[in-house]
């Protein structure tokens, strides 16, 4: 039995990572403490350095990667924000850095429990993003991540994401693969594009003047990210062959004949799957689509999975203030040109780790069934999932605060 954090640490250990600059932040810290202990005990041949901030940490990790070692780092929420400038910078260096983000709601108000505003804020940076539901998936995704981004057609950094508390601190049975098997799947990193050595001076991260050069390099990153879709499928196949577990870009749950589909990500998808089971008991043809690879966005896979359904409800565990659910917008853009596009509904749920209760899922399915109107029409705004009990409790707290 391993927590999500311990599973991440095992992934790093098995990938035989050379270099790990770190900085503590809840709920990620257990990962770096686990690695530090292994290194101190001689179980892992890596160097770990405690940096002065996440900004420095991501810089050091990226620079080490640009020098030619396999590097790892981890952060969460405030830390990701603090290092934000360097996400874009390191991605532009085209280095295959792997970073774990343990999702946590962003301040303010300051909180500890998860939602995805942190990781989704990084979605345009050039980092690829793999979002995990289970502890096993965290370990496996780390191995896949190195293989994916070290491929010469990709060479971009990647974030492997898990939810704080619900996954980071939850113990689940995890199969830890043998190092020998991992070595067969993941060969050592041998950079041919970015390194520093005396006999071959190289200028990296240089400035450009003017938009045509800038556009060229930026668009190259986009194309590399698009390449990652195909490379991902290959990596997926090889991983399944070696370890017997399959992780596609998306995961369908009871999708085959489903008319009403929930779209979710990360650990709360488990709640969604339970809700699908319940809905099926009520005779509703329910299903769930879990998004796993979020950058690059697997447009074709998603479109293929959702077209022709009667209604789709995207549950965003994030909120783009002033717009609504972030993934809802992205899903909508996939479906807009589809002839058989479903009604699309948008819900905001689980912000700051708020539970999504069975009643709330029922409400969503009822909404999907009720939706009428022109083909392709859905809700125009996002709805917040919030129960009456929660509302009353909040009113009580406001009373205590003198704002009743």
The residue ranges that bind another protein (CB under 8 A) are 18-19, 21, 45, 47, 49, 51-53, 55-57, 59-69, 71, 85-86, 89, 93, 196-199, 201-209, 213
The residue (of 93 and 165) whose beta carbon lies closer to another protein is 93
Residue placing its CB nearer to another protein in the complex, 50 or 277: 50
Any bridge partners for residue 19, and if so which? 47, 71
Q: Which residues contact 101 (CB under 8 A, 6 or more apart)?
A: 28, 74, 75, 76, 80, 118, 119, 122, 159, 160, 161, 162
Question: Considering beta carbons, is residue 207 or 400 the nearer one to another protein?
Answer: 207
CB of 213 to another protein, least distance (A): 6
CA distance 132 to 319: 20
Which of 21, 350 has the CB closer to another protein?
21
Least distance in angstroms from the C-beta of 68 to another protein? 6
Least spacing, CB of residue 209 vs another protein, in Å: 6
What is the SS3 assignment for 11-74? HHHHCCCCEEEECCCCCCHHHHHHHHHHHHHCCCCCEEEECCCHHHHHHHHHHHHHHCCCEEEE
Q: 52 or 388: whose CB is closer to another protein?
A: 52
Q: How far is the CB of 96 from another protein (least distance, A)?
A: 13
- Residue 397 three-state SS: helix
Nearest approach, Cβ of 183 to another protein (angstroms)? 15
Residue 196 or 391 with smaller CB distance to another protein: 196
* Residue from 31, 287, 255, 247 nearest 134 by CA: 247
Q: How far is the CB of 161 from another protein (least distance, A)?
A: 23
Q: Which is nearer to another protein, 207 or 401 (CB)?
A: 207
Name which of 61 and 155 has its Cβ closer to another protein: 61
- Helices 326-335 and 299-306, interaxial angle, to 10°? 80
Rank residues 65 and 267 by Cβ distance to another protein and give the closer one.
Answer: 65
Closest distance of CB 350 from another protein, Å: 34
Give residues with Cβ within 8 angstroms of 195, minimum separation 6: 66, 67, 68, 202
State in angstroms the smallest separation of the CB of 43 from another protein. Answer: 17
What is the DSSP secondary-structure string of 74-125? EE-HHHHHHTHHHHHHHHHTT---EEEEEE-PPSSS---S--SHHHHHTTTS
Residue (194 or 369) nearer to another protein, CB: 194
Cα pseudo-dihedral 136, 138, 141, 145, rounded to 10: -150
The Cα–Cα gap between 168 and 162 comes to 7
**Please, which residues have CB within 8 angstroms of residue 150's CB and are 6 or more apart in sequence?**
70, 96, 189
DSSP 306-365: HTT-SEEEEEESS-BTTTB-HHHHHHHHHHTT-TTPPEEEEEE--GGG----HHHHHHHH
Classify 290 as helix, strand or coil: strand
Instruction: Give 127's Cβ-side CA count (13 Å radius).
Output: 28
């Amino acid at each position: 039995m391993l927590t999500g954090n311990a599973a991440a640490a095992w992934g790093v250990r098995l990938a035989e990572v050379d270099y790990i600059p770190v900085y503590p932040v809840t709920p990620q810290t257990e990962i770096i403490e686990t690695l530090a202990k292994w290194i101190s005990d001689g179980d892992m041949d890596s160097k770990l350095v405690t940096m002065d901030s996440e900004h420095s940490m991501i810089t050091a990790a990226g620079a080490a990667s640009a020098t030619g070692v396999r590097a790892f780092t981890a952060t969460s929420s405030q830390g990701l924000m603090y290092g934000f400038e360097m996400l874009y910078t390191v991605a532009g260096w085209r280095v295959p850095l792997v970073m774990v983000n343990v999702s946590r709601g962003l301040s303010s108000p300051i909180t500890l429990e998860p939602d995805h505003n942190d990781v989704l804020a990084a979605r345009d940076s050039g980092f690829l993003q793999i979002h995990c539901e289970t502890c096993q998936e965290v370990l496996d995704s780390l191995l896949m991540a190195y293989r994916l981004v070290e491929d010469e057609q990709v060479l971009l950094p990647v974030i492997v994401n898990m939810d704080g508390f619900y996954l980071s601190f939850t113990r689940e049975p995890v199969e830890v693969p043998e190092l020998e098997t991992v070595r067969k799947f993941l060969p050592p990193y041998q950079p041919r594009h970015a390194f520093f050595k005396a006999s071959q001076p190289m200028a990296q991260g240089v400035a450009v003047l003017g938009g045509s050069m800038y556009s060229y390099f930026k668009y190259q990153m986009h194309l590399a990210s698009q390449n990652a879709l195909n490379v991902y499928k290959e990596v997926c196949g090889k991983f399944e062959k070696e370890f017997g577990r399959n992780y596609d870009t998306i995961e369908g749950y009871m999708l085959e004949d489903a008319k009403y589909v929930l779209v979710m990500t990360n650990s709360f998808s488990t709640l969604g799957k339970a809700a699908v089971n319940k809905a099926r008991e009520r005779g509703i043809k329910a299903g769930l689509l879990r998004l796993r690879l979020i950058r690059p966005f697997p447009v074709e896979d998603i479109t293929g999975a959702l077209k022709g359904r009667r209604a789709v409800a995207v549950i965003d565990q994030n909120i783009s203030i002033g717009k609504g659910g972030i993934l809802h917008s992205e899903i909508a853009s996939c479906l807009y040109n589809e002839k058989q596009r479903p009604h699309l509904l948008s819900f905001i749920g689980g912000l700051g780790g708020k539970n999504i209760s069975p009643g709330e899922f029922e409400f969503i399915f009822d909404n999907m069934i009720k939706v009428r109107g022109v083909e392709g029409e859905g809700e125009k705004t996002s709805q917040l999932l919030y129960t009456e009990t929660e509302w009353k409790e909040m009113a009580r707290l406001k009373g205590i605060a003198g704002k009743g």
